[in-house]
Amino acid sequence: MLLLLLLSGFAFADEIATNSGVRPVAHCPDDMAALPGFCIDRYEAPNEKGTRPFTARGADEAEAWCNERGKRLCTQKEWIRSCGGARKNRYPYGNVYKRGVCNDDKPYRAVNWGLVNKFPSEAARRHIDELNQSDPSGSRPGCVSDDGVYDLAGNASEWVLRTGKITSGYGYGMMGCYWSGCYNMHKAAGIKAGCEGTLNAGHPGPAKLFRTYEAGFRCCATLAP
Q: Which of residues 188 and 84 earns the better pLDDT score?
A: 84
Give the pLDDT band of residue 191 (cuts 50, 70, 90): low
Q: What's the domain count of the chain?
A: 1
DSSP result, 17-60: HHTSSPPPBSS--TTEEEETTEEEESSSTTT-TTSPPP-S--HH
Task: Evaluate if residue 62 carries a pLDDT over 90.
Answer: yes
Supply the pLDDT for residue 205.
42
| H-state helical runs in 57-201 | 59-68, 76-84, 113-116, 122-131, 182-188
Mean of the per-residue pLDDT values for the chain? Answer: 82
CA geometry: angle 145, 40, 72, nearest 5 deg: 150
Answer whether residue 167 is part of any domain.
Answer: yes
> What gap in Å lies between CA 138 and CA 22, rounded to an integer?
27
Answer whether residue 35 is part of any domain.
Answer: yes
Query: Domain of 188?
Result: 11-222
Answer whether residue 2 is part of any domain.
Answer: no
Q: Give the residue-averaged pLDDT of 169-183.
A: 78
Which residue type sits at 189? Answer: A
Q: How long a stretch of residues is the chain?
A: 225
- Contacts for 123 with CB less than 8 Å, ≥ 6 apart: 115
Answer whether residue 5 is part of any domain.
Answer: no
Answer whether residue 95 is part of any domain.
Answer: yes
Answer whether residue 6 is part of any domain.
Answer: no
Q: Which of residues 16 and 77 earns the better pLDDT score?
A: 77
Answer whether residue 33 is part of any domain.
Answer: yes
> What gap in Å lies between CA 109 and CA 113, rounded to an integer?
12
> What gap in Å lies between CA 95 and CA 196, rounded to an integer?
12
CB 82 within 8 A of CB 33: yes
Supply the pLDDT for residue 15.
46
Give the pLDDT band of residue 186 (cuts 50, 70, 90): low
96-132: pLDDT as tens digits: 888 899 999 898 899 998 998 888 899 999 999 999 9
Give the pLDDT band of residue 59 (cuts 50, 70, 90): confident
Answer whether residue 15 is part of any domain.
Answer: yes
